[in-house]
């Protein structure tokens, strides 16, 4: 295929990706909104056990009465009651199984669509790279597309490792918004890059920044959910509806911390490798360029968050505020710096 055909295929795959992500987002939201709470299932199980216990006691009483001389009629009644209890228990179990199947169907649909969208998204990057003959993150459109891909990939890994399916609707929303912004306002045709980007360092420095940003996005989604749920609990709101299906605040807090712990060393690597590339391209490791400054500010923010948790024992709201401040610096580093300031990174 020619470069023009590959570029056209990349654009078509982008449309497919957005559609699949939107439907997956709706499916995740349906799973979150209609899935029964674990507490409901436990309550149902307790009621079923209690019913069976009472039925068994009733049967034993009737058997005792029969032994005392009430005859075959009572024995027959015992058998009927026993069979009725078994049928009731079986019916309750069948109802629970049917409900579980409905729950799994929503979840399965969401995950299948998510994975299909991820595959199409990967195809966007691969065909774009083949059309351009370079790494596909040399401008804002490509970079944002790659970050959305990294965020979805990070979410799929987190979901596989810890079962955090509840984040699906929120991560998909972030990915859809990012791809919408990339296509509506940042789209750029396939073309060559400026000489400064024509280097193997783009595969190291920029790739590390993309992976870290994607993981930070997942941690940010978990932190925002933590803040919203903790605020609701502080006001005395009951855990009902969607909020009852989102894990406890402690679980959200730990999940955000673990993902941030993974992403922070990668972000550090991106900064260090960027300094090495800057020395090779511009003859200095650090020049206080706006992008360099805000990359460092972001690093300081996440370092403060991890340090506060490790040494001062910060958890909960105070740690979440630090995490969100760092994430805001990350977003400003991407959007604000590129459009509000001029510098050596303005070619992006």
Predicted confidence (pLDDT) per residue in 138-163, tens digit:
888 999 999 999 999 999 999 999 88
For residue 152, the model assigns a pLDDT of: 98
Which residue is listed with tokens 């958890």? 315
What's the rounded mean pLDDT across residues 89-115?
A: 68
C-alpha 262: how far from chain center = 15
**Tell me: the pLDDT tens digits for 45-94?**
443 444 444 444 444 434 344 444 444 444 444 444 445 444 444 555 55
For residue 283, the model assigns a pLDDT of: 85
Q: How far apart are CA 144 and CA 146, in angstroms?
A: 5
Other C-beta atoms lying within 10 Å of the C-beta of residue 89: 15
Domain boundaries, the chain: 194-348
What percentage of the chain has pLDDT greater than the value 90?
A: 51
Decide if 228 contacts 286 (C-beta within 8 A).
no
**Tell me: the pLDDT tens digits for 44-57?**
344 344 444 444 44
pTM for the full model?
A: 0.80
Mean pLDDT lowest among 2-6, 129-133, 243-247, 305-309 = 243-247
User: Quick one: which of 324, 213, 334, 319 has its CA closest to 269?
Assistant: 213
Decide if 281 contacts 345 (C-beta within 8 A).
no
């Amino acid at each position: 295929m020619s470069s023009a055909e590959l570029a056209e295929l990349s654009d078509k795959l982008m449309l497919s990706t957005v559609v699949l992500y939107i439907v997956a987002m709706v499916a995740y939201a349906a799973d979150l909104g209609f899935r029964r709470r674990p507490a409901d299932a436990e309550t149902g199980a307790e009621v079923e056990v209690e019913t069976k216990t009472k039925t068994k006691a009733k049967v034993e009483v009737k058997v005792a009465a029969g032994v005392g001389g009430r005859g075959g009629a009572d024995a027959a009644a015992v058998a009927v009651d026993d069979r009725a209890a078994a049928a009731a228990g079986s019916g309750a179990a069948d109802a629970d199984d049917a409900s579980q199947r409905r729950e799994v169907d929503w979840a399965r649909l969401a995950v299948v669509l998510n994975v299909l969208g991820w595959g199409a998204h990967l195809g966007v990057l691969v065909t774009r790279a083949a059309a351009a003959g370079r790494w596909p993150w040399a401008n804002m459109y490509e970079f944002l597309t790659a970050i959305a891909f990294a965020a979805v990939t990070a979410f799929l890994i987190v979901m596989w490792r810890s079962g955090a399916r509840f984040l699906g609707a929120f991560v998909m929303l972030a990915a859809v918004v990012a791809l919408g912004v990339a296509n509506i306002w940042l789209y750029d045709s396939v073309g060559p890059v400026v000489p400064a980007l024509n280097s193997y360092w783009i595969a190291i420095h920029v790739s590390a920044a993309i992976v870290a940003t994607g993981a930070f996005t997942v941690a940010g989604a978990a932190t925002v959910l933590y803040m919203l749920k903790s605020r609701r609990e502080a006001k005395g709101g009951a855990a009902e509806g969607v909020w009852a299906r989102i894990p406890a605040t402690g679980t959200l807090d730990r999940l955000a911390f673990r993902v941030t712990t993974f992403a922070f060393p990668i972000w550090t690597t991106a900064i260090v490798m960027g300094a090495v590339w800057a020395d090779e391209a511009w003859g200095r490791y650090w020049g206080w360029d706006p992008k360099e400054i805000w990359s460092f500010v972001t690093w300081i923010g996440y370092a403060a968050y991890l340090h506060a948790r490790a040494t001062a024992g910060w958890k909960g709201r105070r740690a979440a505020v630090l995490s969100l401040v760092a994430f805001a610096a990350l977003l400003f580093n991407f959007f604000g710096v590129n459009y509000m300031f001029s510098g050596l990174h303005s070619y992006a």
